[in-house]
Amino acid sequence: MTILLLRIETLTGPLVRVKDTQLRVRSQVVQLRLPSASGGLIWNRPVAVLMRTPDGQDRILPILDVTRTAVLALVGLCLASTFLLRLLRRKTA
């Protein structure tokens, strides 16, 4: 029997000091392991940057993947157009 192990966790990197600004980088890891099949998949992507300004303010800068968002939007457009065309065809038939 294949046991599927999925683990999603957020990792935070070490503190980086640049002049007066302190930064911590954050990433999200998706681990998929197949113990009986001796293999797996690791997907690691940047999520955000935690920043502390010299005046002590904490800010979170999210990291957006523009390419992925655009491609997903186009896939959504494909699916939506398919759905609409089928709906129109049923109405006209």
Partner 1 sequence: MADISTPSPKPQVSKLLDPTLALNTVQTTLDKFLSAANVEAVYGPLIEQGENVVIPAAEVLSIVGFGLGLGGGSQNATEPENTGSGGGGGGGGRVLARPVAAIIMSPTGVRVEPIVDVTKIVLAVFTTLGFMVGMLTRMMSRRQRPKLND
The contact set with partner 1 (CB under 8 A) reads 11-13, 16, 18-19, 21, 23, 25-27, 29, 31, 37-46, 49, 51, 61-67, 70-71, 74-75, 77-78, 81-82, 85, 88-89, 92
Looking at the Cβ atoms of 4 and 85, the one nearer to partner 1 is: 85
Residue 49's CB is within 10 A of a number of other CB atoms, namely: 16
Residue 4 DSSP label = P
Closest CA to 15 of 6, 24, 3, 7: 24
Q: Nearest distance from residue 13's CB to partner 1, in Å?
A: 4
